[in-house]
């Protein structure tokens, strides 16, 4: 079958339509006829090559998908053929101590669709039955494809790892990416006061319309730690969500309140940072890492998508043939939300 991917690692210039084997569902697996898939920053990392991760080539991109059930493997008990579905892109073995304890994200064999396996940017994707869910009626295929990875990431980072409680303050570093737009909504659903930190006045206004209580525009003269310190009345912020990395993490730490938590979900702009440990122990703060989510967290996010309290934010939609332009859109300075591919 033909899908969007690459033959060799590199930049967006390597992206093309490639041929891979059409997948067949095995026992307890479901094959989904993909109607739309979402692109994530992860796709750029997979394209570039991730140290220590063996990536089969030709390789299809895509970790999100919405479509219809096309075929069921032996023992798969539904959903029925022809029903509308979306997928959970996290894969686990189901038998290790972490999985048996309901902490699938800590499974030693945890994998991600499109990173450790062929992706969803093609006509078909095959997943375990437990990873396939009914697509909420209120969502189109494109909205369904824009939701899974970013909302499950935001839910675990804020609700589980960050232990965000009603009435606490939550700062989200960055405003335009898919996780940031999901995190604003998740934090509000959890009852927090939400502030977004960005360098763009346009993105700040969009974040306010999305539900943020405030959006602060920072600059060299007013960096994020100063802006958050002032916004919090010099008390600091209870939880800071940071996916930027090197340029922001030290300042995020300085923004924490006593007992505050910095939750790191990525290092888009660099992985190596230097922080003052005195801030950590004197404020009794903590730095926590979070990646993806387990079944419980995915289903919690899906409940919000079903009742309308959470909604996917789509920046733009492209055809599969325009996949290179779609991937380049992820780097656009005015990006706000998810980039989605329509699959014919």
pLDDT (tens digit per residue) in 68-110: 999 999 999 978 999 999 999 999 999 999 999 999 999 999 9
DSSP 12: G
Token representation of residue 302: 């899906």
**Closest to 60 measured CA to CA, from 239, 297, 327:** 327
pLDDT confidence of residue 31? 98
Work out the average pLDDT over 255-282.
Answer: 96
Query: Cα(195)–Cα(153) distance, rounded to whole angstroms?
Result: 18
Same domain, 24 and 156: no
Q: Is residue 11, in this structure, part of any structural domain at all?
A: yes
Q: Is residue 296, in this structure, part of any structural domain at all?
A: no
Same domain, 165 and 140: no
Q: Is residue 329, in this structure, part of any structural domain at all?
A: yes
Same domain, 131 and 26: yes
3 state SS of 315: strand
pLDDT (tens digit per residue) in 298-321: 999 999 999 999 999 999 999 999
Same domain, 179 and 262: yes
The CB density around residue 53, as the number of other CB atoms within 10 Å, is: 12
Q: Is residue 304, in this structure, part of any structural domain at all?
A: no
Same domain, 90 and 112: yes
Same domain, 194 and 218: yes
Work out the average pLDDT over 190-214.
Answer: 98
pLDDT confidence of residue 17? 98
Domain with 35, as residue range(s), is 2-147+312-342
Q: Is residue 298, in this structure, part of any structural domain at all?
A: no
pLDDT (tens digit per residue) in 144-163: 999 999 999 999 999 999 99
DSSP 101: T
Per-residue confidence at 11, pLDDT binned at 50, 70, 90? very high
Work out the average pLDDT over 260-267.
Answer: 97
Work out the average pLDDT over 179-194.
Answer: 98
Q: For residues 181 and 310, is the Cβ–Cβ distance under 8 A?
A: no
Q: Is residue 74, in this structure, part of any structural domain at all?
A: yes
Query: Cα(149)–Cα(88) distance, rounded to whole angstroms?
Result: 7
Same domain, 165 and 265: yes
Q: Number of structural domains, the chain?
A: 2
Work out the average pLDDT over 190-195.
Answer: 98
Q: Is residue 295, in this structure, part of any structural domain at all?
A: no
pLDDT confidence of residue 78? 77
pLDDT confidence of residue 223? 96
Per-residue confidence at 134, pLDDT binned at 50, 70, 90? very high
Note the Cα 306 to chain centre separation in Å. 18
Judging by DSSP bridges, how do beta strands 59-60 and 214-217 pair with one another? unpaired
Same domain, 170 and 130: no
What Cα–Cα distance (Å) separates residue 172 from each residue in 123, 133, 202, 210, 252?
Answer: 35, 29, 16, 13, 10
- Tell me the pLDDT of the chain averaged across its residues: 97
Work out the average pLDDT over 236-256.
Answer: 97
Note the Cα 59 to chain centre separation in Å. 20
Same domain, 234 and 334: no
Q: Is the pLDDT of residue 62 over 80?
A: yes
pTM of the model: 0.97
Same domain, 194 and 231: yes
Counting other chains too, the contacts that 197-202 makes at CB distance below 8 Å and 24 or more residues apart are 197/171, 197/172, 197/173, 197/224, 197/227, 197/228, 198/174, 200/175, 200/176, 200/333, 200/334, 202/334
Same domain, 53 and 24: yes
3 state SS of 257: strand
């Amino acid at each position: 079958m033909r899908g969007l991917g690459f033959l060799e690692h590199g930049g967006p210039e390597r992206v093309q339509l490639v041929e891979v084997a059409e997948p067949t569902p095995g026992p307890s697996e479901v094959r989904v006829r993909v109607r739309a898939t979402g692109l994530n920053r992860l796709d750029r990392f997979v394209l570039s090559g991730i140290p220590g991760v063996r990536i089969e080539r030709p390789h299809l991109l895509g970790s999100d998908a919405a479509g219809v059930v096309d075929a069921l493997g032996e023992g798969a008990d539904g959903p029925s053929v022809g029903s509308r579905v979306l997928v959970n892109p996290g894969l686990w073995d189901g038998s290790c101590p972490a999985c048996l304890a309901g902490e699938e994200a800590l499974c030693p064999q945890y994998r991600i669709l499109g990173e450790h396996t062929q992706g969803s940017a093609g006509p078909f994707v095959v997943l375990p039955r437990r990873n396939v869910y009914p697509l909420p009626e209120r969502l189109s295929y494109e909205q369904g494809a824009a939701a899974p990875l970013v909302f499950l990431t935001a839910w675990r980072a804020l609700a589980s790892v960050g232990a965000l409680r009603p009435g606490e303050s939550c700062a989200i570093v960055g405003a335009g990416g898919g996780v940031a737009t999901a995190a604003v909504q998740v934090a509000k659903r959890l009852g927090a006061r939400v502030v977004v930190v960005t360098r763009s006045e346009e993105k700040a206004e969009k974040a306010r319309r999305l539900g943020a209580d405030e959006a602060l525009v920072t600059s060299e003269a007013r960096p994020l730690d100063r802006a958050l310190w002032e916004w919090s009345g010099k008390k600091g912020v209870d939880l800071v969500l940071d996916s930027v990395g090197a340029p922001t993490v030290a300042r995020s730490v300085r923004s924490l309140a006593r007992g505050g938590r910095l939750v790191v979900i990525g290092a888009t702009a660099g992985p190596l940072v230097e922080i003052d440990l005195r801030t950590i122990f004197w404020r009794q703060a903590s730095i926590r890492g979070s990646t993806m989510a387990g079944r419980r967290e995915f289903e919690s996010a899906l409940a919000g998508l079903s009742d309308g309290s959470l909604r996917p934010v789509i920046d733009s939609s492209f055809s599969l043939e325009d996949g290179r332009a779609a991937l380049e859109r992820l780097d656009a300075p005015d990006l706000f939300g998810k980039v989605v591919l329509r699959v014919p």
